[in-house]
Amino acid sequence: MEVLLINYCLYTGGVETLMVRMANWLVRKGHGCSILLRDTFDGDLRPLLDERVRVRTLANRWDLLAMPVVGSLLWKSWKLPRPDMIYTMEQSWSVVSLLVRDLFVNHPPKVATGAYHPRQFTYEYVPRKWGRLGLFRQKVYNLAYTDEQKFFMSEEVRAGHEEFFNRPMPDGWVWPLPIEIPPDELLSQRKPVPRRILSIGRLTRFKTYSWYMVPILYALREKYPDVQWHIHGFGAQEKELVEDVWKDAIRDGLIVFHGPIRYEDISTAFHQASVFIGMGTTLLEAAAWGVPAIPALTYDEDALSWGYIDQMPYYTCGELIPGRQPTAKVMDLICRLFGMNAKETEQLAAKGREYVNAYSMDHLMERFLEKVNELPSGEPLSASDRLRYLWIRALKFPRNLWLSLSRIGREPLRHAGGYRVMH
């Protein structure tokens, strides 16, 4: 199968890391894989891509895909094979996916779009000021994709979309985050520093543990003077956190902020951690590396959790579940862990590692391909929708349009291993 993945960039992030894992798995298993990026081919995840993965950066040229004839010329200039399946990593690219699909009238590829946040179309529960482009994207996602073509990371992510669009989406498919499970022999390299708490993730408002952990740290220090919280990440709230929320704790040695972390260095951070707190992909990865892991919850102000990771409902990575209320306190979970002996800690880590086996790449990617084969190709975008998109995107920016046209065919195809032209 030839698969096309579409997303923004190759900088470290949960969705971006998933895209790299998917691409590498596909080419290792004998499938073809291409990636279309909005920007930033040279992100820090690029060296991790298998050299057989083909990569293209669209910049503003995706507008041209909506133009008859010109869109086909643009695709040919990229020298990419016709995909059998197109998967967008976020809904903001779901229009681009359909524009590519509609280039192949006689044999259209299957399409699906993934959702990895329950509030994809809102911010802190308030609808974003999307403007005409955002409203058009919402319409396309809601109506141009069948619900079968909508993939959700968890039931809570599905529920967030159902709430936003005010309708049920029972045919949407819950497909959790797949991760690579490291072999047992690599776990022997773990040398955890006592009472070192680790978090890796974006510094963003919905990850509220970045705020509530500060008073927990001061309370922990009364019993464990050597406790430290090591944080790797970046994001929109970095300045607020470092210069205000964390300021005193950093000065007092309770917080060590490292900034962004390269993906290849994450395993070293796991080796040194005695406990991980967070959500998303890195939560699962921490448990896979044998780190006792505590799930944080989105938008939670009360420092609650499901418990240790083996007590977290499957196919959630920090989301809340309608009708279920977590009751475990993060403070209590950390204190209980710090009070365990070596054997008890090892048993807890083993439970977490067993739990995340259900998220293995081989298991979930095989399910992904099986589901893709069952999908409908869908109906082409209407002429009116194409004209509306062109008006919103391309015709409003004639300079960008001219620059895009002038660059057709000038660039070689980028492979993960460097620059290479396909013949």
DSSP string spanning 151-167? EESSHHHHHHHHHHHTS
Q: Sort strands 110-115 and 150-152 into parallel, antiparallel or unpaired.
A: parallel
Distance (Å, whole) CA 80 – CA 415: 11
Distance (Å, whole) CA 337 – CA 340: 5
What's residue 420's pLDDT?
35
Biggest distance spanned by C-alpha atoms of the chain = 70
Name the band, by pLDDT with cuts 50, 70 and 90, for residue 264: confident
Does pLDDT of 342 surpass 90?
A: yes
Residue type, 339: G
What's residue 24's pLDDT?
96
3-state secondary structure at position 4: strand
> Do 2-178+364-419 and 184-359 show the same overall fold?
yes
How deeply is 398 buried, as exposed, middle or buried, from its count of CB atoms within 10 A (0-12, 13-18, 19+)?
exposed
Does pLDDT of 421 surpass 50?
A: no
Among 194-198, 264-268, 312-316, which is the least confidently predicted range? Answer: 312-316
What's residue 196's pLDDT?
98
Radius of gyration of the chain (CA): 22
Distance (Å, whole) CA 232 – CA 253: 16
Name the fold adopted by 2-178+364-419: Rossmann fold (3.40.50)
Name the band, by pLDDT with cuts 50, 70 and 90, for residue 74: confident
Calculate the CA dihedral of residues 170, 175, 176, 182 and round it to 10 degrees: 160
Mean pLDDT of all residues in 397-404: 53
Does pLDDT of 27 surpass 50?
A: yes
Instruction: Convert the pLDDT of each residue in 284-315 to its tens digit.
Output: 999 999 999 999 998 899 999 999 999 998 87
**pTM here?**
0.77
Name the band, by pLDDT with cuts 50, 70 and 90, for residue 419: very low
Q: Sort strands 54-57 and 32-37 into parallel, antiparallel or unpaired.
A: parallel
Calculate the CA dihedral of residues 40, 46, 52, 56 and round it to 10 degrees: 0
Residue ranges of domains in the chain: 2-178+364-419, 184-359
What's residue 41's pLDDT?
72
Distance (Å, whole) CA 270 – CA 312: 20
Q: Which of 64, 112, 103, 119 is nearest to 85 (CA)?
A: 112
Q: Which of 48, 80, 53, 85 is nearest to 411 (CA)?
A: 80
Strand-pair partners of 123: 126
Q: Which stretches of 140-208 are DSSP H helices?
A: 155-165, 184-187
Instruction: Convert the pLDDT of each residue in 115-132 to its tens digit.
Output: 888 777 764 444 545 577
Does pLDDT of 40 surpass 60?
A: yes
Q: What CATH homologous superfamily does 184-359 map to?
A: Glycogen Phosphorylase B; (3.40.50.2000)
The rounded mean pLDDT for the chain is 87
Sign of the Cα torsion 66, 81, 411, 52 reads positive
Mean pLDDT of all residues in 379-408: 70
Distance (Å, whole) CA 26 – CA 359: 16
